[in-house]
Amino acid sequence: MARPAWVWRVGFRPDSLENEGLRRFKLGWGTQERRIDYFRYDQRKAAFVTARDESSGWHNRIFRMLPVSLSRLIGAASYRHVA
């Protein structure tokens, strides 16, 4: 089945390899994954440094424990401040 022309123009931002649910969602739209390597350079150290993947961590554990309705409320209230 051919996709509508607008689907080809939709841009999906890169996401973490650890974010499996978001990756599945994007693949459902017919996207193709490509690896994008990012490098962080610390000018004070005059060296490339390893950046931590902050897409998962303590906040994921907290939101998994909360009821979905409370998670949505917190997400809606904090989105414009965090995103």
Model pLDDT for residues 4-28, shown as the tens digit of each residue:
555 555 567 788 878 888 888 888 8
Measured CA to CA, the distance from residue 68 to residue 22 in angstroms comes to 17
Asked if the model's pLDDT at residue 83 lies above 60, the reply is no
Asked if the model's pLDDT at residue 53 lies above 90, the reply is no
Specify the pTM. 0.48
Is 15 in contact with 26 (CB distance < 8 Å)? yes
Angle at 81 between CA 79 and CA 59, to 5 degrees: 60
Higher-confidence residue of 13 and 49: namely 49
For 44-66, what is the mean pLDDT?
Answer: 85
